[in-house]
Amino acid sequence: MSHEVLDNIIAMAEDLRARADEAESLGRLPDDMAKGIRHAGTMRMLARKEYGGFEAHPRDFAQVVMKTGSIYGSAGWVSGIVGVHPWQLAFADPKVQEEVLGSDSDTWQASPYMPGGVAVPVEGGYVLSGRWQFSSGTDHCDWIFLGAMVGDKNGIPIMPPQSLHVIMPRADYSIIEDSWDVVGLRGTGSKDIVVTEQFIPDYRVMDGGKVIDGTAAEEYGVTETLYKMPWSTMFPLGITSATIGIAEGVLAAGVAYQRERVGATGTAIKDDPYTLHALGEAAAEIDASRQQVLTNVDRMWDRIEAGETITFEQRAEGRRNQTRAAWRAVRAADEIFDRSGGNALRMDNPLQRFWRDAHAGLHHAIHVSSIPYHSSALSSLGADPQGTLRIMI
């Protein structure tokens, strides 16, 4: 089925390109574009077979997201972020799995995981309030994962902090319609979410720390390799794959644009050794980024298949590699764009949109390099990073 999903996305390519301007204007994916992606099967790739999912190898998921991003960046971004949520849902309470996917295996789930709210414990669950930014694809989602901190009776986060991942139906939160006006990834509709004193039953709440360190999946008793994969490999995978796919879009659009172009000096680009060198080097860097992300996934998968327990050092190494791959790809995209002349800036040139989207993708928190680099280096020296050095690892 994974190859069929990829074929479905490729078959949609012309329509995705043709509708990109409409999505940019709307500030979200058009309804029929989202419907096409839904029918392609991307969002079911990581879902349980029990609920119509494919339980695909995450490498296959990453390649579908990359291809989608290389065609239209915002479509790839939404596919990568929304598409990874069924993976986490697979080791949530069975009752909430049934609520979300029991009647419709194509039900989309949004996020974000940033701790934008405070959950106050009450009998049978929590009362949640807060505001969250960057809920990509949220207009097309009927459920959401939201990050929150446990609070005291006054709504003040307790110390030391305790993070939660809360799962909520669309009726229990509000989307702020005018909250997504940005320079890149305009079509993702990554709007703000507001929750006001909403009761959340216990079975719809996951311990955030246990999700990230793998304890949640272990306690759920999963046996499939897919659901034993680290959160710090899987959640960033959709985001980084989309960003690399967008960089591949920069490359493809740049090559197409340069094919018949004559530079400012009157020299055809085909005869300009400096530009050709830059294009060749950038293409190699983008491909290296792609291969590093895919190899990263394969390495984790193979360790789990072999019965190994993934260590914090290995998780930090994976995040280091994933983050570096994104930065390498976008920096290579800059080399392409910077040598494309003034007409690359025109809004009717798709090259500028890919370039804007690539940089927007690099601004996601998962691509901040400081903690993964620091933690990976420290771990390699035999230390055990603590506190903030374990965030999202």
344-388 pLDDT per residue, tens: 999 999 999 999 999 999 999 999 999 999 999 999 999 999 999
pLDDT-derived band of residue 263, with 50, 70 and 90 as boundaries?
confident
Does 252 have pLDDT greater than 90?
yes
Per CATH, which fold does 2-101 belong to?
Answer: Butyryl-Coa Dehydrogenase, subunit A; domain 1 (1.10.540)
- pTM of the prediction? 0.97
Q: How far apart are CA 237 and CA 88, in angstroms?
A: 13
For position 264, what pLDDT does the model report?
Answer: 85
44-91 pLDDT per residue, tens: 999 999 999 999 999 999 999 999 999 999 999 999 999 999 999 999
162-180 pLDDT per residue, tens: 999 999 999 999 999 999 9
Per CATH, which fold does 229-390 belong to?
Answer: Butyryl-CoA Dehydrogenase, subunit A; domain 3 (1.20.140)
278-293 pLDDT per residue, tens: 999 999 999 999 999 9
Does 247 have pLDDT greater than 90?
yes
Instruction: Delimit the CATH 2.40.110.10 region(s) of the chain.
Output: 109-206
179-194 pLDDT per residue, tens: 999 999 999 999 999 9
Residues 6 or more apart whose CB falls under 8 angstroms from that of 81 comprise 110, 111, 136, 137, 238, 239, 242
Q: How far apart are CA 272 and CA 309, in angstroms?
A: 52
For position 193, what pLDDT does the model report?
Answer: 98
For position 304, what pLDDT does the model report?
Answer: 97
Phi-psi region of 335 (alpha: psi -120 to 50; beta: other; left: phi over 0): alpha
- CA nearest to 35, candidates 69, 72, 75, 64: 75
Alpha helices by DSSP H, the chain: 2-11, 13-18, 20-26, 31-40, 58-71, 73-89, 94-101, 208-213, 215-220, 225-228, 231-258, 273-305, 312-337, 350-362, 370-380
112-142 pLDDT per residue, tens: 999 999 999 999 999 999 999 999 999 999 9
Instruction: Delimit the CATH 1.10.540.10 region(s) of the chain.
Output: 2-101
Question: Could you tell me the end-to-end alpha-carbon distance of the chain, in angstroms, rounded to an integer?
Answer: 31
Instruction: Delimit the CATH 1.20.140.10 region(s) of the chain.
Output: 229-390
The alpha carbons of the chain give a radius of gyration, in whole angstroms, of 21
For position 27, what pLDDT does the model report?
Answer: 97
For position 1, what pLDDT does the model report?
Answer: 67
Collapsing DSSP to helix, strand or coil, 38 comes out as helix
Q: How far apart are CA 138 and CA 9, in angstroms?
A: 21
For position 156, what pLDDT does the model report?
Answer: 94
pLDDT-derived band of residue 265, with 50, 70 and 90 as boundaries?
confident
Q: Do strands 109-110 and 115-122 pair parallel, antiparallel, or not at all (unpaired)?
A: unpaired
Pick the CATH number of 109-206 from 2.40.110.10, 1.20.1250.20, 3.90.700.10, 3.40.190.10: 2.40.110.10
For position 3, what pLDDT does the model report?
Answer: 84
Q: DSSP assignment of 130-145, as one string?
A: EEEEEETTGGG-SEEE
Q: What is the mean pLDDT of the chain?
A: 96
Q: Of all residues in the chain, what percent carry a pLDDT higher than 90? A: 98
Residues 6 or more apart whose CB falls under 8 angstroms from that of 161 comprise 115, 149, 150
Rounded mean pLDDT, 146-166: 95
- CA nearest to 122, candidates 158, 152, 156, 160: 152
